[in-house]
Structure 1
Amino acid sequence: MTGEGRQFVEFATRETLAKTGIGFLVAVVFLYLVAVGLGVEKVSQALAGAEWEWVALGCLSTAFCLAAWGKAWQIVLQVVGIDVPYRRLVVTYFAATFANYVTPLGQAGGEPFIAYVLSRDTDASYEDSLASVVTADLLNLLPFFSFAAVGLGVLLTRPSLPAATRPLAFGLFGMAVGIPALTGAGWFWRERVRSGILRLVAPVAKRTSRVSVAGAAERLDDLYAAFGRVAQDPRALVKAVGFAYVGWVFFALPLYCAGQALGVDISPLTVLFVVPASTLAGMVPTPGGLGGVEAALVALLVAVAIESAALALAIALVYRVVSYWFALGVGGTAALTVVKRA
């Protein structure tokens, strides 16, 4: 294995192994306690009647979702002058997804780690990799908010919005307004942002030789240049947005499949709200939001679609099997491939 391959392995194990193990343990204990509180027997009975054809369809939908997002990523990379064969890049994307899903808080800020994986597995620089990853994530936010707005709009037509959904509804609204605003402000006042970051780096640089103000300035300039190149091809970005929307459809579909697997017909419009809303719970400090997403799904499903909390938990568990654990399995295999070819 080359030095870069060893560096990737060391980075992935030394930085995250202990936190990941603790995170999984805490999440599993939490889920067990939730199941005990709702009735383990009731949850088990619901799961025992699962139709595995729908479970398989949900897994297939997750694979299509990641493949579509990988294609959007490839388009963004091509804009910055990096042409990676899709067959190679989609494996890298699955591996990066695995790294993101096993890293605590990865869902809330795994872009630097994913950019690290991409830069080590392709000819892309870290700055171009980070710019492409952040751009692709921002493009994915468009369908995220679009689908959430449609679902939320349907709920708002009801006499009253269920109390359990109000915090997540306000959270979605805040993100819909805040993230684009912060992104635009960060770009418009990029010189001020650059100066502020360098002021923060200066005292750190005085204490260690590993960080320098000049080096940080060069990296920031390269990153802004990469963002500038991405913005120069709006037609390619529109094409990437199209794949982002396709990916989000397949990202939401597994919840519908999970309901069908257990004999529950969840309205597609409900799915469009519940999936984005539950994704906010992915920001809890466990791998992939494990525990938090399931709890949010139970609360949302009980509030808008299902009376039985035990059945809602069973659906949440099936959904996470096809959307999270399946992605971990496929992504883990891809990660081994990436490490081997590094």
Structure 2
Amino acid sequence: MKVKKYVASSMPEAMKVIRAELGPEAVILKSRSVKVGGFMGVFTKKKLEVIAGVDDQVKKTKKYVKKRTDEQLMKQIDELKQLIATVHPLRNTVVEYPLLVQKVISYLQHQEIEERLLKEVRDKVMELYYTTPSLGDKQVVEWLKSWFEDYLSYSERSKVFQKKYINVVGPTGVGKTTTLAKLAASCILEQNKRVAFITTDTYRISAIDQLKTYASILNVPIEVCYNNEDFQQALQIFNEYDIVFIDTAGRNFLDSQYIHDLHNMMSFNEHMETFLVLAATAKMADLRKVYQQFSSIPIDSIILTKLDETTTFGPIINVLTECQLPASFMTIGQDVPDDLEKYTAEKIVDYLFGDWKHE
């Protein structure tokens, strides 16, 4: 490995010299503030001393790098970083990032994007910074939005309501009943489907009354089920209907008995499509726990609610990338059926960068 020391006024200045001399494969090994010049300790100037290194073998084989796949290249970079860490472990090293990069990271941290995603973004934006002349706020936010949209492209679900029984599950307070009514109204008004309701939420009288009110407005029948026998009977009653929407009880998601009761009440078979409802206002730790609790149920897709009640969208991005489940709908208010939107990666990324201030 070739190692060289540089002294510069700032990290961006040092990076430009390092890249020019050692190439884009160079790695920062250590950096610290030093005083240079002056006379007998007087009139010294504060500078940044940076020690950088590059694997000579990597430089020799540079002309072949383009022929390798991205996966192979990333593997080689990771191995090189591990080698450097082993040879010269870095502790308490502070790297000074360009102000624009710092702004990006600060904004995403404020949005509560997790470190595992921040690291990827930071590396990509640093590369963009040193390869794009006169990079400004507008350019970087456009690039970031495009990057996040590509990153979340898997989360878009093109087809929904492919099965007769549509079931919504989730913790209390996320808006399951209102969301169910919005979905039903959409099927009736846009697809002219014959729709029926089943509710198993017998723990709250208000929940039954709320769904009965929606059923009356939409002119659809409803059955209240207290046990599996009631549920099976309701399925028989609604056998001729196109779609049957099932509202489940909203209870404390930390109580594992809730999930056990769901399994006892209904069969999650090939005829049922199940949506997990998550509120955008929830903390990441709670979102993760909700997903873990419901993971024993075959979840087909996610519905995001209460996007109009928060300005922080990082936790939603985190949980989507962590659970690797697609999302289908988003709700942005209480109005039925107006405040229901089809989920797209572009829309959720627009929410994520909605508070970005251009300079």
Give the structure-1-normalised TM-score: 0.26
Q: Looking at secondary structure, tell me which structure has more strand per residue.
A: 2
Q: Looking at secondary structure, tell me which structure has more helix per residue.
A: 1
Q: Which has the higher contact order (CA 8 A, sep 6+)?
A: 1
Which one has a bigger Cα radius of gyration?
2
